[in-house]
Amino acid sequence: MGGRRWFVVARVPFLLIVLIGASAWIQLPAEARVKSIAGDEAFVRMEYDSALSVYSASLHESPAPAEILWRMARLCVCLADISPEDQQMDLFKKAEEFARQSIAADSTISEGHTWRAAALGSMAMEGSAKEKVQLCREIKQELDIAIALNPEDDAAYSILGSFYRALGNVSWIEKRLAGIFLGGLPGGGFEDAEQALRKAISLDPHVFRHHYELGRLYADWDRPQDAVTAFTRAIEVGPMMAADKKRIERAREMIAKLQDRG
């Protein structure tokens, strides 16, 4: 199913069944299915407030459907990305909570694990060194589970690529100190990041993030021509999330800098 899990474009119930998987969708109560369609359509249009209103209505059901809960996690991550900095952490924490609830409701749905990893990755940016190491382990574990549950989860591979890129930017001495004092970081680096991002692109070449993150990887890896190619492709694909609009500006800036560098 690939990138269709990022944005479920559904105009009629049959298409929704095809895009999110028949078994998971059929298990939703009828009212939740209707709300899922309306919420997904609003999400695709980047009308996040409308999507939030629609999805939230399903949360009053007892128990709340796992398929709605992971969508709420995804939505909170996307809202955080376009919110003022002083509001972002609260939204990432809400995303993580919704993802955990989704996993508790149905641990076999990969998206719960994928979007928990996404939320934890953002939360780790503000944590102490010890908290970052602990969160790294949790992120990797959640992504491994997500991919095991759904080997075509391009979002999980994309986030895994970003995760490995971050590890590749950790110096040897920092890794050594983390191993001595904090129990060590997971293995991985730029090569692993490239493999994961290439896999995400192969599953869905039409997702902006996959190409943009590949460009960031190549820029960090001192591969300027490859970075320019990846950023150019990201711009061609166009935005799929509201935050992508600013990332397109950054991609253009990076292309100019990389070309100036020669």
pLDDT 10s per residue in the chain (262 long)? 344 444 433 333 333 323 334 344 445 556 666 667 888 999 999 999 999 999 998 887 767 789 999 999 999 999 999 999 999 999 999 999 999 999 999 999 999 999 999 999 999 877 666 677 788 899 999 999 999 999 999 999 999 999 999 988 875 555 655 554 456 667 789 999 999 999 999 999 999 999 999 999 999 999 999 999 999 999 999 999 999 999 999 999 999 999 987 5
pTM, 2 dp:
0.85
* Greatest distance between any 2 Cα atoms in the chain: 59
76, part of any domain: yes
> 85 in a domain, yes or no?
yes
The total number of structural domains that make up the chain: 1
Asked whether residue 212 is assigned to any structural domain, the reply reads no
Among 96, 87, 179, smallest CA distance to 139 is for 96
CA neighbours within 13 Å on the CB side: how many for 187?
A: 1
CA 77/CA 227 separation, integer angstroms: 26
What is residue 174's predicted lDDT score, i.e. its pLDDT?
A: 59
> Within a domain: residue 201?
no
Number of helices (H), then strands (E), belonging to the chain: the values are 14, 0
Q: Would you state the pLDDT for residue 140?
A: 94
Q: So what's the pLDDT on residue 126?
A: 76
Supply the pLDDT for residue 112. 97
Residue 90 belongs to a domain: yes
Other Cβ atoms closer than 10 A to 50: 15
Does residue 37 contact residue 13 with C-beta atoms inside 8 Å? yes
Strand runs labelled E in 70-225: none
The range of the structural domain enclosing residue 129 comes to 2-156
The pLDDT value given to residue 24: 47
What pLDDT score was predicted for residue 168? 85
Assess if residue 79 is contained within a domain.
yes
CATH classification of the domain holding 128: 1.25.40.10
